[in-house]
Amino acid sequence: MVLSLAAVTILAVIAALRRDTYDTAIYRDYFQYCHQSDPQWAFYDDQNFELGFQLLTRSIAAATEDPREYFFVLTFVGMACTLHAARMFRVAPLALVLYFAASLYPLLF
């Protein structure tokens, strides 16, 4: 479990420090938009983000204005949920994190 948590932390740091990409710019812009606008609670807001993502982003935006912290928390929370699911389904947590890091993570980050 300690190795899995270390791997998740490393992935979150990589996500926090990544340079501008097309995806990064979209999420960074939305994060900044959340600081400048009032919530429009609907299934999709005027930026076309789902309600759950709006709640998560606005929660992080309430705590920080630093996009690096936003990307770190967003990635860490998502991967922590993945670790929890691995334990629930009796899959080796480190194996799942390594699979995600090696195959899916580069596509997302």
**12-65 pLDDT, tens digit each:** 998 898 888 778 889 999 999 999 998 888 889 888 999 999 999 999 999 999
pLDDT recorded at residue 108:
56
Q: Is pLDDT larger for residue 8 or for residue 19?
A: 8
pLDDT level of residue 109 (50, 70, 90 thresholds): low
pTM listed for this prediction: 0.84
Residue type, 95: A
Geometric angle at alpha carbon 15, from 38 and 54, rounded to 5°: 20
At 100, the pLDDT band (50, 70, 90 cuts) reads: confident
Do 70 and 61 meet the contact criterion of CB atoms below 8 Å apart? Answer: yes
Q: Element (H or E) spanning 56, and its range? A: helix 51-63
